[in-house]
A and B are shown apart, each in its own frame.
Chain A
Amino acid sequence: MTMDEEYKVLESVLKEFSQKEIEPVNKNIELEGLSTDLKNKLASQGFLGALAPFETGGAYLDRLGYAILLREISSASPSAAFYIFIQNSLVIKSLMKDNNMEIISKIASGKISGTMAYSTRLNMLDPGHIMKNGNMIEGVLNAVFNSSGNIFIVNIEEENNLYMIDSGYEKLPNHEQLGFRGVTFSPVKFKSSNFKPLSTKMDEIIEDIHLPVAAIAIGIANGALSKAISYAKERDAFLHKLKDFQPLAFNMSQAYSELDSLNTYLVSVAEGQKDLKKEMMLKTVSLDFARRTSKLALQVHGGYGYLMDFGVEKFYRDAMFLSIVGGHSLKDKVKLSELIFESKAGWI
């Protein structure tokens, strides 16, 4: 399967953007978070409104275009890709049905940013709880990404309805953060009378994240493996280049082959109609691959891979973290088992 010319152009533009705008500030992203300057650049390219309609200033990408965007940005900075994912897959998608074009436009332009507090859909003992009492939404949600944002999409579990809150919230101290350090991650306390109901359901949003999460995972593997291949070509040990040693060359060639297959699979799934089973299968395989490959890439770099300066350790952390926050891993496994067995499965 080959991609149409327009997607190849998109891929090439994204590679150039990553090289020019992300790579030079990659260390700062990990240390200080995504800068306003970079967010503005992501917005000006249409990435923050990747799924938003043209009239809001968005790029209105289709599934394949969006997957390529996330994969390519993730290859340079998984944090930046995750931020784009939050704005599009979680926030803009939640707002679309109700024609919240003004807010979508502000998100697409980078004037504001949003998040969906989906900690109740993660594998957590205490995800926190919020409730609606008359004209007040209050409570604490314990795991919120981009918790320094301006718009929060929250789910009232008792009624299973989403609401948008744009004031009356307080970001609490950050969690210890294994991955996606470019994006804030903390509990958030809500006490707001300023909220708006949304007609989209949280489950619709969560069910749609498998393909984009897979794209980010493949990007992580690609970014890590590219660095390892370059390093193995240059680094000498025992009077030879690293690439000349069989175990290393064979392992990396294997990973490269798997990456190529996964990219083809990604394109195939993204080009087709929505298919939950295929998307979940793709996500499962991609997350596993991202974890294995980023670990291999770090090992190839030896001690240098353990240092932030070499830009490879973040892929290892982010791959692990993505497999934790890219959905409820256990519930996803049960769901996929049910889709495969076409009946209740994997519940004992």
Chain B
Amino acid sequence: MDFSLPKEIEEKRNKVREFALREFTDEKKRYYDEHEKFPFEIREKGFKEGIFGVNNPWEQLVTIEELFRVDPGLGNSILSSAFGAEVLMLFGNDFQKKKYLEPVLKGEKIMGFATTEPVAGSDVAGIASRIENKDGYWLLNGSKMFITNGTVADFFLVLTRSGPSPSEQKRHHNMTMIILESNCPGVSRNKLYGKMGVRATDTAEIIFDNVKVPNENIIGEVGKGFYYAMTFFDISRIYIAAQSIGIAEGAVDMIIDKVKKDEKFSTMESVQFAIAEIITKVEAARLLTYEAASYLFEFKPDPTLTSMAKYYSADVATFAAEKALEITGVDGAITSLERLFRDAKIMEIWEGSTEIEKLVIYRSFIKKVMQK
């Protein structure tokens, strides 16, 4: 069993690391965080230099790690431009791929993925936004919340209800996923200010008021939207695990920075133990994530492993950031580490909270056990 990544993947890792260290300067990190602005120019540069790419998923994974290691907010602005693209790749038709997916992959357009609603976060089956079939088109009403790229995306993939729930147990039935262009009449978007972290990432509430959606913008089959969303979460949760590993690595970098500057600091066993604990957890998180990723990238996703990777890595990210602040003290608190601490917490919330991951882990595990 070989645990090392191929040479070209490690080369990509080095390239991304070099890019992030060069482009994510302390001034930029602080500016975009403070002003809660989306860094269009950094995103463009990332595309121009070939930082973003979906051809090799392993490359994508190490890219996420290295960008988040230096700054999660800025890193996410590059990576999330294609947030939800996998749904189009897997379930979109040729017309949709050409019209919507291609420009995104070239960096010409930005997309978003909209499932969460004001009253339905973790409970995806509880969404209330709906589309009605009219003569030759669909009419969309409702609202979405916490949508990444909410005010900067050119279009969204929107999960919506296309019919009533057959029963309480089958609330996930009758959902449909659609492509919605941002400039459609009836779409209004309100940027959410005051996030604790990932503040360079654009997040918004979106309201749909009698928005006309053409038939050609229905993805896959009507009524299969929940399945498409869950398929995507099986992919995106791997990415969140990689984001978390990046943050934890970034916290380690900040500790090492102090170790290099302060000889006395690293002679203390409490510091040595803290570093040992963090790097052990990071290694465990990475192994778990890569194992889950290896199944996914072979088109055999294992939801148990995926959710384990997301849950554990997110936990490691917050642990590492907290521990790093604890031992570096004020030195850490007045540097990028304070931002990493604020950024780390979202890992336990977005793309399925830790509580949801635990439910998925149990349910998929017990299903396997009972089938034996």
Contacts and interface: CB of A to CB of B under 8 A. Distances in A.
Given A303-B145, A333-B270, A122 B330 contact: yes
B342 interface: yes
B258 A307 contact: no
Contact of B345 (A143, A316, A323, A329): A316
Nearest to A122: B330
A124 B354 contact: no
Contact of A320 (B122, B192, B322): B322
Interface in B260-274: 261-262, 265, 268-270
A344 B276 CA distance: 25
B370 to A, nearest CB: 22
Given A239-B168, A317-B196, A348-B269, A178 B333 contact: yes
B342 A178 contact: yes
Nearest to A126: B331
A107 B348 CA distance: 43
Interface stretch (A48-56, A65-73, A87-95, A294-302): A294-302
A313 B146 CA distance: 16
Interface string A200-225: 00000000000000000000000000
A124 B345 contact: no
B189 interface: no
A126 B327 CA distance: 15
A298 B345 contact: yes
A147 B196 CA distance: 24
Contacts of B268: 330, 348
A329 to B, nearest CB: 6
A291 B318 CA distance: 12
Most buried by B among A238, A309, A323: A238
A143 B341 CA distance: 19
B331 A125 contact: yes
Nearest to B120: A237
B349 A306 contact: yes
A239 B170 CA distance: 12
B196 A123 contact: no
B322 A176 contact: no
B107 interface: no
B196 A325 contact: no
Contacts of A123: 328-331
A226 B358 CA distance: 25
Contacts of A313: 196
Given A239-B168, A306-B195, A316-B196, A178 B123 contact: no
Interface size class of B (residues with CB under 8 A): 35 or more
Contacts of A329: 326, 329
Contacts of B30: 176
B338 A330 contact: no
A302 B355 CA distance: 10
A321 B338 CA distance: 9
Contacts of A325: 330, 333
A328 B358 CA distance: 37
A143 B330 contact: yes
Contact of A247 (B196, B269, B326, B355): B355
B121 A303 contact: yes
A70 B325 CA distance: 25
A205 B54 CA distance: 58
A238 B196 contact: no
A324 interface: yes
A237 B196 contact: no
A303 B123 CA distance: 13
A236 interface: yes
A329 B328 CA distance: 10
Contacts of B270: 330, 333, 346
Majority secondary structure of chain A interface residues (helix, strand, loop or mixed)? helix
A328 B329 CA distance: 8
Contact of B346 (A176, A237, A306): A306
A123 B120 CA distance: 43
A143 to B, nearest CB: 5
B333 A299 contact: no
A241 interface: no
A247 B195 CA distance: 26
A307 B330 contact: no
B84 interface: no
Nearest to B194: A308
Interface in B297-354: 318, 322, 325-335, 338-339, 341-342, 345-346, 348-350, 353-354
Contacts of A248: 355
A175 interface: yes
Interface string A279-311: 000000000000100010011001101111100
A52 B350 CA distance: 48
Contacts of B163: none
Contact of B318 (A122, A295, A303, A323): A295
Given A176-B30, A329-B329, A299 B353 contact: yes
A330 B332 CA distance: 14
Contacts of B328: 123
Q: Which 5 A-B pairs have the closest CB atoms?
A: A123-B329, A308-B194, A178-B338, A313-B196, A175-B334
Interface of A: 27, 119, 122-126, 143, 175-178, 236-239, 247-248, 291, 295, 298-299, 302-303, 305-309, 313, 316-317, 320-321, 323-325, 328-330, 333, 346, 348
Interface of B: 30, 116, 119-123, 126, 145-146, 168, 192-197, 258, 261-262, 265, 268-270, 318, 322, 325-335, 338-339, 341-342, 345-346, 348-350, 353-355, 358
20 contacts: A119-B330, A125-B258, A176-B335, A176-B338, A178-B342, A236-B119, A236-B126, A238-B126, A239-B168, A295-B318, A299-B354, A303-B350, A305-B349, A307-B194, A308-B195, A308-B196, A321-B333, A324-B332, A325-B333, A330-B329
Given A176-B30, A303-B350, A307-B195, 20 more contacts: A125-B262, A125-B265, A125-B331, A175-B333, A178-B338, A178-B342, A236-B119, A237-B120, A237-B121, A237-B126, A239-B126, A239-B168, A295-B318, A306-B195, A307-B196, A316-B345, A320-B325, A324-B325, A330-B327, A348-B269
